[in-house]
């Protein structure tokens, strides 16, 4: 295991209880596929909106706080990963 990523993956997998490793790997693979698909769809949607000119530049908040809507959205993404 000369590759750092392999060592890191092995460390994570070694903490998964016996009998659950296959299911863990299946879920991990499917989540990566889902995330890649969602990223592709979001990129295409944003690109299409920018090309159409329908998307306008939102007002930039004048404070360093993150709007509650954005925090809720990010929280939901984190729950799905």
Sign of the torsion formed by the C-alpha atoms of 1, 24, 38 and 81: negative
The mean pLDDT of the chain is: 85
Q: Give 31's pLDDT tier (boundaries 50, 70, 90).
A: very high
Judge whether 39 lies within some domain.
Answer: yes
Asked if pLDDT for residue 34 goes beyond 90, the answer is yes
Compute how many other C-beta atoms are within 10 angstroms of the C-beta atom of residue 33.
10
Would you mind telling me the total number of residues written for the chain in this entry?
81
Q: Give 80's pLDDT tier (boundaries 50, 70, 90).
A: low
**Residue 13 sits in which domain range?**
8-56
Judge whether 19 lies within some domain.
Answer: yes
Judge whether 80 lies within some domain.
Answer: no
- More confident: 22 or 73: 22
The structure's pTM equals 0.53
If you average pLDDT over residues 28-50, what whole number do you get?
93
Judge whether 41 lies within some domain.
Answer: yes
């Amino acid at each position: 295991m000369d590759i750092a990523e392999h060592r890191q993956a092995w460390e994570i997998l070694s903490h998964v209880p016996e009998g659950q490793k296959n299911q863990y790997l299946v879920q991990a693979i499917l989540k990566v596929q889902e995330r890649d698909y969602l990223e592709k769809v979001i990129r295409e949607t944003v690109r299409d909106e920018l090309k159409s000119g329908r998307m306008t530049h939102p007002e930039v908040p004048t404070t360093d706080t993150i709007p509650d809507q954005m925090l809720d959205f990010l929280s939901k993404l984190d729950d799905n990963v």
